[in-house]
Structure 1
Amino acid sequence: MPLSPGQLEEIEAQRNQTAPTRRVVAPGMEAHLYTAHPVLDHGFVRVIDYMGDDAAICQAARVSYGKGTKSVQNDEGLIRYLMRHWHSTPFEMCEIKLHVKLPVFVARQWIRHRTANVNEYSARYSILDREFYIPAPENLAAQSEVNNQGRGAALEGEEAARVLEYLKADSARAYDHYEEMIGQDGQQGLARELARMNLPANIYTQWYWKVDLHNLFHFLRLRADAHAQYEIRVYADALCKVVADWVPFAYRAFEDYRLGAVTLSAQMLACLRRMLAGEAVTQENSGLTAREWREFQAVLAD
């Protein structure tokens, strides 16, 4: 269960509170505020706070104090221009603060995005919950034969059952020993900051993560991509839905020019021009490496 009854009561109390304000609010984001969106088996993402909206992006780009005579159509066109030409600063005027519950191994991927403010649950001070990420059978996959950091076909039958049993048993045993080590019933008990090193990487942690929209889009471009690891991609997918409601103009531009777009190298672009001119281009005469050629073919196939 991602949230305890006490946490659900706390969220409901937060959502029932209102406060008068002169600052801009985004109706789409107000609907998400404090709500926990489940991810994986025990995880979630929820919005704690935010600043700005589509209009704030345009205001920063125009360096004005209001909408002036600009229409909604002008705003969307401006945002698309900014996204298309990589003018990132106006997007930094919007910020979001999230509460995220996620497995430790996913957190280690996530934290590589260093352009955010993070405060994580302290296992030196507090005791971690007995909650582990155990993949659904369809997400147990073999090592890819062509990608050293990717997955191949799903494991089946006895092999899948054996792997799931290992994951469950090892997680339970590690946590049992963790509890025994920190226990003070008839013993001093090992310090929590030391006992935590025995816990597996699939145990859940939590953090507050605050980031501006420009850097959030960079995160989503990488982590919502079809090639991203499934366990972090589902978090990115959940965030995409939130951002689409928060800044709809900016998100549509992001989908068109980043998430749903591709980048071609100069050599790939030259190959494409040759193909359009009717020339038969092969890997051997393309000037591309075998891997670049495969990636180029994948782009054309899409």
Structure 2
Amino acid sequence: MDVELVQQLATDDMICMAARVSTIGNKVQERDEQKDRGLINYLMRDRHGSPFEHGALTFRISAPIFVVREFMRHRAGMSYNEESGRYRQLEPVFYIPDDKRPLVQVGKAGAYDFKLGTFGQWWTTDEAMRTAYAVAWEQYQHMLAEGVAREVARSVLPVGTYSTFYVTCNPRSLMHFLSLRTKTDDATYKSFPQVEIQMVADQMEDEFKRLMPMTHAVYVEHGRVAP
């Protein structure tokens, strides 16, 4: 999974300035790290969410189509643009999990876990995916060579095909996304994301932590609940 932060305007200071305008109007705000942290803690604790909407982070993400579709379930505060198989020939880049990706589901939906599986199961998965991808790509190329429109030919490509998209979000919507697409022991509300989308979410969280260390720390302290 390839995640790149390409543009950002997101700081802890902006959260505090947005929150304090309600009480001080157009007065100049003085920076005080201890008071700022206390304010962010109060906003997060009591779920005063609107100050966390002042900021923007834009990511370019390349991931399998099944991850992209799962990602785009998140709509509030998210803006998307994705490459189109109608307008360009897609690239032969396909997802194949490595031998550390759990393969065997245990339990039931909503309360299940995964185990690694055997070497034989991994080998079967790897071989089946490579075979299916090779056949699908061959047929895709064949249709294009025969003059079939790209928007029709792409139908044979599997959801393991990589796609690239841009997503822009504010810090509040990013925290909501992370609360659902990461799996951690310190979360108030446990989430069970698919491994592949968590691989994307983890990289996005690294950037969030780097850009807004105070907000991120308070978010974690309060059980990773978006305000």
TM-score, normalised by the number of residues in structure 1:
0.67
Q: Tell me: higher relative CO, structure 1 or 2? Use CA pairs within 8 A at least 6 residues apart.
A: 2
Aligned to 2:39: 78
Gaps of 5+ in 2: 185-191
Aligned to 2:82: 120
1:81-133 deviations in Å (ceiling 9; x for gaps) = 11111111000001111111111000111000012110000110011110001
1:167-200 deviations in Å (ceiling 9; x for gaps) = 11101110111111111xxx4x111001111100
Q: Does 1:57 align with 2:15?
A: yes
2:90 partner letter: L
Mapped partners of 1:137, 1:52: distance in 2: 37
Aligned to 2:195: 230
Q: Count matched residues.
A: 214
Aligned to 2:98: 136
Q: Residue 5 of structure 2 contacts residue 59 of structure 2 at CA under 8 Å; is this kept in 1?
A: yes
Q: Which moved more, 1:156-165 or 1:83-92?
A: 156-165
Q: Secondary structure at the match of 1:68?
A: coil
Q: Secondary structure at the match of 2:100?
A: helix
Q: Secondary structure at the match of 2:222?
A: helix
1:204-250 deviations in Å (ceiling 9; x for gaps) = 00011011110010001111124211100011111111111101110
CA distance 1:148–1:223, change in 2 (3 Å): closer
1:106 partner letter: V
Residue 71 (structure 1) shift: 1.1
Q: Does 1:203 align with 2:161?
A: yes
1:92 partner letter: E
Which contiguous aligned blocks of 4+ residues in structure 1 show a shift greater than 6 angstroms?
none
Larger radius of gyration, structure 1 or 2?
A: 1
Q: Does 1:87 align with 2:59?
A: no
Residue 146 (structure 1) shift: 3.3
Aligned to 1:264: none
Aligned to 1:98: 59
Q: Does 1:176 align with 2:141?
A: no
Q: Residue 94 of structure 2 contacts residue 161 of structure 2 at CA under 8 Å; is this kept in 1?
A: yes
Residue 70 (structure 1) shift: 4.6
Q: Residue 140 of structure 1 contacts residue 160 of structure 1 at CA under 8 Å; is this kept in 2?
A: no
1:250 partner letter: T
Mapped partners of 1:130, 1:113: distance in 2: 27
Mapped partners of 1:66, 1:46: distance in 2: 37
Aligned to 2:188: none
CA distance 1:199–1:119, change in 2 (3 Å): same
Gaps of 5+ in 1: 1-42, 262-302
Query: Structure 2 residue aligned with 1:146, among 88, 101, 108?
Result: 108
Q: Secondary structure at the match of 1:55?
A: helix
Query: Structure 1 residue aligned with 2:215, among 246, 250, 268?
Result: 250
Q: Residue 59 of structure 1 contacts residue 65 of structure 1 at CA under 8 Å; is this kept in 2?
A: no
Aligned to 1:191: 149
